[in-house]
Amino acid sequence: MSPLEILTFPEEFLRNPVRPVEQIDGVLQTVIDRMAETMYQAPGVGLAAIQVGLDKSLLVYDITSKENGRDLHVLINPRIIAQEGQIISENEGCLSVPDFRADVQRFAHILVEGLDRDGKPLRFEAEGFPAVVLQHEIDHLNGILFLDRISALKRQLYTRRVKKQLKHQGA
């Protein structure tokens, strides 16, 4: 299998809320495997289907270190149903927003519902770093980039830099 192409800002497709997954079949399992391969190769700790051009409510994540082995998690049609507390996600980054990191305000504790890769219902709590990763990836599924959660000034500076780079590449 080959990894998928990761869409990057300012790609407009990233701004679209995705559609729910309605069928869990062999095709979806292949998509999940390719998304996982793409995330690991990038390398990243999470990847939403929209980031690889798929209009599906699907994400993969793995917060274990490479040295401790892989622990892939798959969430289909995830949603946050409760959240509390505030933390600052320090130095948050994104595979779709290359070469930029920022502090982002996130909830400290969340309750998530969804389906696993076999379609079995999941309901679990996450806190700290796992909560940050899930909020980040679920934001993607709703058409929200972490850039939308930082100050307007920082967002403008990054946007200008990207537009300048794109202009030079096209020249």
Catalytic residues: 137
Contact 129, 109 (CB under 8 A): no
For residue 126, which amino acid is it?
A: A
Q: Is the peptide bond before 43 cis (omega within 30 degrees of 0)?
A: yes
Residue 70, Cβ density class (10 Å: 0-12 exposed, 13-18 middle, ≥19 buried): exposed
* CA 20 from centre of chain: 16
| Cα(62)–Cα(71) distance, integer angstroms | 6
Sign of CA dihedral 35, 164, 11, 144: positive
Sign of CA dihedral 139, 28, 130, 94: negative
